[in-house]
Chains A and B, each alone.
Chain A
Amino acid sequence: MPKLIIDDQEIEVASGTKVIQAAEQLGIMIPRFCYHPALGSVGACRVCAVKLLEGRLKGVQMSCMIDAQDGMVVSTTDEEAVDFRTHVIEWLMLNHPHDCPVCDEGGHCLLQDMTVSGGHGIRRYLGKKRTYQDQYLGPLIRHEMNRCIHCYRCSRFYQEFCGYRDLGALQSANRTYFGRFQDGILDSPFTGNLSDICPTGVYTDKPSRFRGRRWDYQRSPSLCIHCCLGCHTIATGRYREIVRQEARFSEAVNGHFICDRGRYGFFYANHEARPRRARVAGDEVSYDQALQALKAKLAEISKRSGPGAIACVSSDRSSLETQAVLKRIGRMRGWRNFSGFMPQGLAQKVQLAVARLEPALSVSLRELEGADFIVVVGADPINEAPMLALALRQARRKGAAIAVIDPRPIALPFDFQHVAMVPGAISLGLGLLARGSPDEAAIEKLGPPVSDFYAALPTPEVMNASDQKRLSPLIRDLRSSRRPVIVCGTAVGPATVVGLAADWALLLQAVGKKAGLFYLLPGANAFSAGILSDPEDTFEKTVEGIENGSIKALMLVENNPFWQFPDRARLEQALARLDLLVVLDYLNSAAAQQAHIFLPTATLYEIGGLFVNQEGRVQAAQRAHSGGIPIAQSGGGGHPPRIYGAGVPGAEPRPAWRTLAELVEEVVPPDEARMQSEVGVWLAEEDPRFADLPPFAELPEDGARLNHKRDGASRFLVNWTAELQKSRGFDDSFELLAVDWTFGTEELAVYSACLKALERKPGLLMHPDDAGRLGLTDGDEVAMQLDRGTLKVPVGVVANMAPGVIVLPRHRLLEWQRLACGRIRLERDRIRKAASPQGPKP
């Protein structure tokens, strides 16, 4: 622990700390451009110069490159160092276009700050400025190379940190250029970060271009709700509109960055089509009228058919408050409990994951970066939760071995082992890894139940030789690992895998490894939905209830079953049978349009909210603005905006929890602050896992983890005979998997026009063996015949996936809901080449 003096202040820091970091700990902000805590030091920009007065090294040195050492005396204010820094700024400004008035970075530009603080005010250089040509980099990022100061942050972030290969440094000397080989959309789904890390305006945020200055904006800490990771963001509002979102640093979750789906997914909140008025029977009415109508209708149905005829369904995009109030009032009124998961079997998997995530096993996204062996089962990081892929890459960069067991074609920005198996075989693969991982002798000593569990694990013979061969190097890596982590998805694998993942992690811990467990869940608040949902009640059952007449009223709270329920025709018929369909939402979804009573709700940007990420971390988003139709829309861009009325136009949407509370008199609609504390109490009553949380108003920045209960009873229970059966897949038919893609399948982000260009063309994917048997080649248009109709799509033939499955994205442009997917069989003769009008291709 070296002790040193910086500007007359003494400080002791961990060894390996750079002087620039040590100074930061003292609150001394040494200028920097190329240094970035996530990217490390490279010493390129030279603006962090300080003078070392005492110690082994002396003179002007770069504080980002020097390790703090005992006896060092550092001056950041020494004349020579200051003069050097001023020169560096002057050099950087030689060619800078000084176009701050029209530059979107103006106002939050590190170069501006450094120029002013570095004391460079008067231009001495008389020469001409160098100019560059800009490139088109896609819909998210604008390129203006003339502003570049060559700190190399972009190429280091893009290539080293993220692992993508289409943006980098070209040319040399003072002609050095950062860009692509040619104009085109950037490959990486993390490109928005370029605008955050670029210290000047080379990469600016395209969708928010010319929308305002940093000081015009209301910026508030928010959360991303486009997947289960709960990355921290800064939502930027202006004139009743979210104009931009940036990454917010989080030590425990996302570090410094976020993905493009999360950054640009917010446009649903501003969308023109967003419903802002309540509706009864299709007519716009006042909020109170709709509320009264709803109350009366619910009372009537309750009286007529009993409260059990009313079913309430929330979703994993609802805030914890909303889920809690719904749970509470449902209990008070005797309504049916809600369950928010649409695909078959998903609720069960989520609940199992939530139950099995013990505190001793759980690792955060950032802790994952410290693992030395990671096996990902039944998850597709880039497509389901992109920031997970980035965390995996950081682990890989530090030397971790990474393997993915999943039927889908998995692409990740680093090298890894992919074992593509049909979903049913994943548990077997995992079981084999588990068997190979410890010394058998060590297991003996542990005794039951571990030894029994171990003894029951499958032996290699149950698996075919080629899969065995692919698994064996993993076993070797695993054995030598000290901090293995298993990342387990809930999207495609069977439920057994979820439990098995936890059992295996326990087993590894029992043999002395620092093993960790990381689940992926289907949505932002899936964790709490999992806790609060009735395990017996699934949406499937709700539909059945409607069909058999036991459910008469359905209240959908921020839930659109048409998006995710895999059988559209059935759903339509069922909803049509209802006496009452109520929808509370901020999206004008298909369900909202059919609702008898519709009540608009506010988004998290207008009310904030609590969300529980996939590791059970409760985090808070704060309000970014107070609602209403964006002025740009209400005034058509003119000034003043011409909608006349007493209040803020379009400000009727309320928090869903508030509307729900108002339905039940006993639950007095409290103000927000009281609301949150009340919710805390209710939740603690509802489930002990919520008991130890701090009051929500006092949640730390990085949230607080739920105190998971240790579910000893469900440990080590695998029925291997049943698993063996499942693992065979279907001999004569395909298993159809509906999957998520980074862009185009997530319900909220599809409202963002800027993300549309990034969507891959939808189509189904299959293995070359299967395609060969069906006489299909890549790019063919196929027709899939289903009970309820035919779907025509192009087929992609890809080798890096499991044979025997068909992968179909839940793409907004596909009517996949007609297919009734899940683990469903699709006989091979139901899929064939669509007759093409032009005849066969040459």
Chain B
Amino acid sequence: MPSNYPQVLFQNRKPDRITTLEEYRQSGGYRALADVCKHWSPKDVQQEIMNANLLGRGGAAFPTGMKLMAVAEDAPYPRYIVCNADEMEPGTFKDRVLIHADPHMIIEGLILAGFAARAEEGIIFIRPEYENAARILEREIKIAREAGYLGQNILGNGYSLEIVVHRSAGRYICGEVTAQMNALMGKRPNPKVPPPYPTEKGLWGRPTVFQNVDTLACIPHVINNGAEWFKGLARTATGGGTKIFCVSGKVNRPGCYELPLGVPLREIIEEHAGGLPPGSEFKACLPGGASTRFLSKEFYEIEMDFESLRKVGHRLGTGAVMVFDHKTCLVAATLNLIEFFARESCGWCTPCREGLPYIRDLLRRIEEGEGREEFIPMLERMSKHLWSAYCAFAPGAVSPVEGLLTYFEDEVQEHIVQRKCPLK
């Protein structure tokens, strides 16, 4: 294995089984909660998280501290804290790995975030494909409850929280928080643009905070070791903490790697994921799931953190690095991605519902050798217009197309000129 980076979220990770409550405790688990229950106010917790520069790991990279602070002190009860374990972004599987590695870390994070927002009810929203994870969580929640970390009057603090696991029935849009809100309320999971924000009027009109699994898992460590320590984990100044990169595609060791924010892309691929298989050359990767833009080889050395990618017009997204080699046709790969988005669109707004199938049709024609010169400007314009869709789904959906046209237009042109896929 390459360089020894501190393992925070994965400190207890085992190859074949979950970390038990006892093991988690031994590693310092629930110490943060005990501490908070004795000495901290909700405001203190919010402030510490704010100072730690913890950015949401669900894809949008919104400062977690800020979200917790958005719940007004005098807001009505009950309030809700939701753990977003929908994880349907293609290429992303870190939440699943985390739950299977150390469920109590997430539970403790959820309790702490709930404490900061004074939420009385916690909900873990989980995708149906993660049925095993859902069962693990249900079992461990019960164990945590028996140990006094959940339920009434937690550790004598007077704070109470119950957590339930809510199984989804599968649709990518359910990961988007406003859609998730509708899903949880038993409505059609269409998104709903704010205002009002969920932190003000969320589930059943009550303040609700949504956080990604990974984000929540960071919180106990922020509390235990302090904001400064957390910030120091990152290699770059913006954004604190380590980051779980899930690497997949054309690499020798696909999987999740906990690395400091800001490690170079090359290092992730070559050192941690074992490089590309023999005979494969790096051509491109999606740096943060299907709804980010392709990075070409010119970005091979880029520091993988939120800010550095943003500066060059990219997004770190979920940190799911999907690697494509020189033998993979990027038109076909993009077509596959658009197929996904077109199928998963919720159907609420026109650009996404109708525009994506249109783009899919154009890409398919190009891939099948029926492409025309004018398809390229059409794709460009439509992709641009999809940014004016109702929610963030559509801009994410066209990101790979934009990447394709920006860095691999030649490859697209070749399809059109040769009237076939040059890689077939």
- In the complex, are the beta carbons of A43 and B188 less than 8 A apart? no
Which of chain A's residues 140-180 have a Cβ closer than 8 Å to chain B?
A: 149-150, 152, 169, 171-176
- Identify the 6 closest CB pairs spanning chains A and B, nearest first: A91-B354, A176-B347, A127-B361, A173-B345, A173-B347, A172-B347
A94 to B360, CA, bound (A): 13
Q: Is A766 part of the contact surface with B, judged by Cβ < 8 Å?
A: no
26 A–B pairs (Cβ distance < 8 Å), ordered by A: A43-B349, A43-B390, A44-B348, A44-B349, A44-B350, A44-B390, A46-B349, A65-B193, A83-B385, A84-B385, A87-B355, A88-B350, A91-B353, A91-B355, A125-B358, A149-B350, A169-B188, A172-B347, A173-B342, A173-B343, A173-B344, A173-B345, A174-B347, A174-B357, A176-B347, A176-B353
Query: Which residue of chain A has its CB nearest to the CB of B346?
Result: A172
- In the complex, are the beta carbons of B349 and A60 less than 8 A apart? no
Inter-chain contacts of A124 with B (CB < 8 A): 378
A92 to B343, CA, bound (A): 17
Inter-chain contacts of A127 with B (CB < 8 A): 357-358, 361
Q: How far is the CB of B413 from chain A (nearest CB, A)?
A: 20
Q: Is B157 part of the contact surface with A, judged by Cβ < 8 Å?
A: no
Contact of B354 among A60, A61, A92, A172 (CB under 8 A): A92
- In the complex, are the beta carbons of A173 and B350 less than 8 A apart? no
Which of chain B's residues 361-415 have a Cβ closer than 8 Å to chain A?
A: 361, 365, 378, 381-382, 385, 388-390
Q: Is A673 part of the contact surface with B, judged by Cβ < 8 Å?
A: no
Which of chain B's residues 70-102 have a Cβ closer than 8 Å to chain A?
A: none
> Of B351, B353, B355, B385, which is in contact with the most chain A CB atoms at under 10 Å from its CB?
B353
A43 to B390, CA, bound (A): 7
- In the complex, are the beta carbons of B381 and A94 less than 8 A apart? no
Q: Is B171 part of the contact surface with A, judged by Cβ < 8 Å?
A: yes
Q: Is A229 part of the contact surface with B, judged by Cβ < 8 Å?
A: no
Knowing A47-B350, A174-B347 touch, does A94 contact B365 (C-beta < 8 A)? no
Inter-chain contacts of A62 with B (CB < 8 A): 388
- In the complex, are the beta carbons of A91 and B345 less than 8 A apart? no
Knowing A92-B354, A172-B171, A173-B342 touch, does A87 contact B385 (C-beta < 8 A)? yes
- In the complex, are the beta carbons of B342 and A87 less than 8 A apart? no
- In the complex, are the beta carbons of A174 and B353 less than 8 A apart? yes
- In the complex, are the beta carbons of B351 and A91 less than 8 A apart? yes
Which of chain A's residues 87-119 have a Cβ closer than 8 Å to chain B?
A: 87-88, 91-92, 94-95
Per-residue CB contact flags for chain B residues 26-66 toward chain A (1 = under 8 Å, else 0) read 00000000000000000000000000000000000000000
How many chain A residues touch B (Cβ–Cβ < 8 Å)? Answer: 32
Per-residue CB contact flags for chain B residues 304-346 toward chain A (1 = under 8 Å, else 0) read 0000000000000000000000000000000000000011111
A509 to B130, CA, bound (A): 62
A-B contacts besides A83-B381, A87-B385, A174-B342, 11 pairs, CB < 8 Å: A44-B348, A46-B388, A46-B389, A65-B193, A92-B354, A95-B354, A126-B361, A173-B342, A173-B344, A174-B354, A175-B347
- In the complex, are the beta carbons of B350 and A46 less than 8 A apart? yes
A126 to B342, CA, bound (A): 17
Query: Which residue of chain A has its CB nearest to the CB of B382?
Result: A87
A614 to B263, CA, bound (A): 77
A91 to B343, CA, bound (A): 16
Inter-chain contacts of A47 with B (CB < 8 A): 350
Knowing A84-B388, A173-B343 touch, does A125 contact B350 (C-beta < 8 A)? no
Inter-chain contacts of A174 with B (CB < 8 A): 342, 345, 347, 353-354, 357
- In the complex, are the beta carbons of B347 and A88 less than 8 A apart? no
A356 to B221, CA, bound (A): 74
A residues in contact (CB < 8 Å) with B: 43-47, 49, 60-62, 65, 83-84, 87-88, 91-92, 94-95, 124-127, 149-150, 152, 169, 171-176
Q: How far is the CB of B276 from chain A (nearest CB, A)?
A: 35
Q: How far is the CB of B236 from chain A (nearest CB, A)?
A: 30
Inter-chain contacts of B361 with A (CB < 8 A): 125-127
Inter-chain contacts of A175 with B (CB < 8 A): 347
Knowing A87-B385, A127-B361, A172-B171 touch, does A150 contact B353 (C-beta < 8 A)? yes
- In the complex, are the beta carbons of A88 and B171 less than 8 A apart? no
Query: Which residue of chain B has its CB nearest to the CB of A49?
Result: B388
Q: How far is the CB of A115 from chain B (nearest CB, A)?
A: 13
- In the complex, are the beta carbons of B348 and A94 less than 8 A apart? no
Q: How far is the CB of B347 from chain A (nearest CB, A)?
A: 4
- In the complex, are the beta carbons of B349 and A94 less than 8 A apart? no
Q: How far is the CB of B237 from chain A (nearest CB, A)?
A: 29
Inter-chain contacts of B188 with A (CB < 8 A): 169
Q: How far is the CB of B363 from chain A (nearest CB, A)?
A: 11
Contact of A172 among B345, B378, B381 (CB under 8 A): B345
Query: Which residue of chain B has its CB nearest to the CB of A87?
Result: B385
Query: Which residue of chain B has its CB nearest to the CB of A174?
Result: B353
- In the complex, are the beta carbons of B357 and A150 less than 8 A apart? no
Inter-chain contacts of B381 with A (CB < 8 A): 83, 87
Query: Which residue of chain A has its CB nearest to the CB of B341?
Result: A173
Knowing A44-B390, A83-B381 touch, does A171 contact B347 (C-beta < 8 A)? yes
A150 to B381, CA, bound (A): 23
- In the complex, are the beta carbons of B350 and A150 less than 8 A apart? yes
Q: How far is the CB of B7 from chain A (nearest CB, A)?
A: 40
Inter-chain contacts of B353 with A (CB < 8 A): 91, 150, 173-174, 176
Q: How far is the CB of B351 from chain A (nearest CB, A)?
A: 6
Inter-chain contacts of B171 with A (CB < 8 A): 172
Q: How far is the CB of B257 from chain A (nearest CB, A)?
A: 34
Q: How far is the CB of A205 from chain B (nearest CB, A)?
A: 26
A94 to B378, CA, bound (A): 15
Inter-chain contacts of B357 with A (CB < 8 A): 94, 127, 174
Inter-chain contacts of A61 with B (CB < 8 A): 388
A65 to B391, CA, bound (A): 13
Inter-chain contacts of A92 with B (CB < 8 A): 350, 354
A125 to B349, CA, bound (A): 19
A169 to B350, CA, bound (A): 15
- In the complex, are the beta carbons of A94 and B358 less than 8 A apart? yes
A150 to B389, CA, bound (A): 14
A365 to B257, CA, bound (A): 66
A84 to B355, CA, bound (A): 11
Inter-chain contacts of A126 with B (CB < 8 A): 361, 365
Inter-chain contacts of A84 with B (CB < 8 A): 385, 388
Per-residue CB contact flags for chain B residues 168-188 toward chain A (1 = under 8 Å, else 0) read 000100000000000000001
Which of chain B's residues 178-211 have a Cβ closer than 8 Å to chain A?
A: 188, 193
Inter-chain contacts of B351 with A (CB < 8 A): 46, 87-88, 91
Q: How far is the CB of A31 from chain B (nearest CB, A)?
A: 12
Contact of B388 among A60, A152, A172, A173 (CB under 8 A): A60
A125 to B381, CA, bound (A): 15
A632 to B20, CA, bound (A): 83
Inter-chain contacts of A91 with B (CB < 8 A): 350-351, 353-355, 358
Query: Which residue of chain B has its CB nearest to the CB of A175?
Result: B347
Inter-chain contacts of A169 with B (CB < 8 A): 188, 347
Inter-chain contacts of B347 with A (CB < 8 A): 150, 169, 171-176
Inter-chain contacts of A176 with B (CB < 8 A): 347, 353
Inter-chain contacts of B388 with A (CB < 8 A): 46, 49, 60-62, 84
Query: Which residue of chain B has its CB nearest to the CB of A169?
Result: B188
Inter-chain contacts of A173 with B (CB < 8 A): 342-347, 353
Query: Which residue of chain B has its CB nearest to the CB of A89?
Result: B350
A45 to B390, CA, bound (A): 9
